[in-house]
Amino acid sequence: MFERVIKWIILVGAVIGNSLVFQNCSPAQFQDSINEASISSNCPNNTTPECLDSDEIAQNLVCSFNGHIYYEGESVVAYLASSAPSGKSCISEIRRCVGGALTGAYPYSECSVDAPESCLFNGRTIAHGQNIEAYLNSSVTYGQSCTKQSRTCNNGVLNGSYNFSSCTVGSAASCLFNGQTVPHGGSVAAFQNSSVAYGQSCTKQSRTCNNGVLNGSYNFSSCTMGSAASCLFNGQTVPHGGSVAAFQKSSVFFGQTCQSETRFCQNGTLTGSNSYASCAIESPRGCLFGGRTLAHGENVVAYLNSIEPYGQNCKQQLRYCQDGLLSGSYNHSSCTIRKSVCVPLKVAYSRTGIALQGNHCQRKVMYERTFTNPYNATAIFNIDVRYVDDTYLIDDQEVKPNQFLRFNGDYYKCNAPHADRFSKVVGPSQTVKLSVADNHGTAASIDATVCFEGL
């Protein structure tokens, strides 16, 4: 019975956080000498946790994990896996015994981290953490440098990207120039052209071989100078140093002078620019006017217009021919003045009635007269109107439209003196009708002049 009490004390201490509390089940103080009779007498009903039977404790408050027993409230560290890769950590959780069952789910009581792996580079094993020198290329041409990098093994993975464990630099190459071998570091004389014209110089440069590449650009190994060339002028050969007379034009107008220069031949090139070997002075030229040719120095009377209106004068000008150029600007060789037949027209007339439609006037024709062309040819009909207080029409075409003023909602004619001219081309014996249209009022007048001008 004493062993059962000691187990109960240990379990209760674990439940309340590892603090042991000794509870006396009777009013008397707890003594070192405990017997089964006193415990039984203090737990008559066995209903409190501290008075439970040891079999009940073992049955309800004990957990088992990987062969170990854990009492109620005790905890244990559990792992997700038994091992972890190199460089990683073991994943764990705390599992606690509660009511005879462990919380959590991780199944392992131990976990170890694997040792890091080594790396392989060109058949060589590289230990974890060890560095090696690697190269971008296995060889490079002369003048270039081997490019390298340090690669480190980290748990089976080699950083970097260069793939070669060694690198060598090649030998310098020689050059070839026009069939001649030039060693590396050697030089050769080269010319820009294989030959030059007379008076020019051969241009050369020194070209040096650098690992198979010649600097410079000249391509010829020798150069010769040519002889001086002669010149050709209008089929005539002019030797180098010779000269020839040349003219600006092959001919000039009357009164002008032939312009010449001396051209010298310089190695195939003539100085100067004149192109002709000879020059002639032409005879004076005539002028063309009105269908005839005027001789040099001749003059002619010219007119501004070929036809002038009735009552006007023909305007004339004296034009002179000077070596093909005619002075002045009048272009007609003759001029006629139109004939005219005029009729004064001064009529007073009466008009009656005005038909109002809304707020506008209805126009009525109050006066008409017909005029006949007196010529047996086409003529111009002119009417000069000095005054009319209505609209007038020529062959029923309105020439002077009515003008109105609006007053108190009605329209009134705005009568004002004015001057108008109307012209019309009329055929032989044709007629022209003059009409005057009225808008309102009873009397009015027209003052005009009617003329026919013959063409």
Report pLDDT digits (tens) over 300-358.
999 999 888 777 899 999 999 998 899 999 999 999 887 888 888 777 766 544 443 33
Q: Are residues 26 and 69 in the same domain?
A: yes
- The strand pairing partners of 77, in sequence order, are 94
Q: What's the mean pLDDT in 196-209? A: 92
Q: Are residues 368 and 431 in the same domain?
A: yes
Domain boundary among 79, 112, 145: 112
The parent domain of residue 263 ranges over: 231-281
* pTM metric for this prediction: 0.31
pLDDT tens profile 152-189 = 999 889 999 999 999 999 889 999 999 999 999 999 99
Domain boundary among 112, 139, 161: 112
Q: Are residues 439 and 345 in the same domain?
A: yes
Q: Are residues 132 and 80 in the same domain?
A: no
Q: Are residues 358 and 419 in the same domain?
A: yes
Query: What is the pLDDT, as a whole number, of residue 387?
Result: 63
Query: What is the pLDDT, as a whole number, of residue 86?
Result: 82
Question: 101 or 417, which is more confident?
Answer: 101
Q: Are residues 199 and 264 in the same domain?
A: no
Q: Are residues 31 and 83 in the same domain?
A: yes
Q: Are residues 361 and 333 in the same domain?
A: no
Q: Are residues 275 and 319 in the same domain?
A: no
Rounded CA separation 436/365 (Å) = 6
Integer angstrom CA distances of residue 98 from 14, 58, 102, 103, 104 = 11, 13, 6, 7, 11
Q: Are residues 384 and 440 in the same domain?
A: yes
Q: Are residues 102 and 123 in the same domain?
A: no
Q: Are residues 319 and 377 in the same domain?
A: no
Integer angstrom CA distances of residue 164 from 117, 132, 135, 150, 159 = 22, 11, 5, 12, 14
Integer angstrom CA distances of residue 385 from 220, 346, 380, 388, 422 = 100, 10, 16, 7, 8
Counting every residue written for the chain, the total comes to 455
In total, how many domains does the chain have?
Answer: 6
Domain boundary among 87, 112, 137: 112
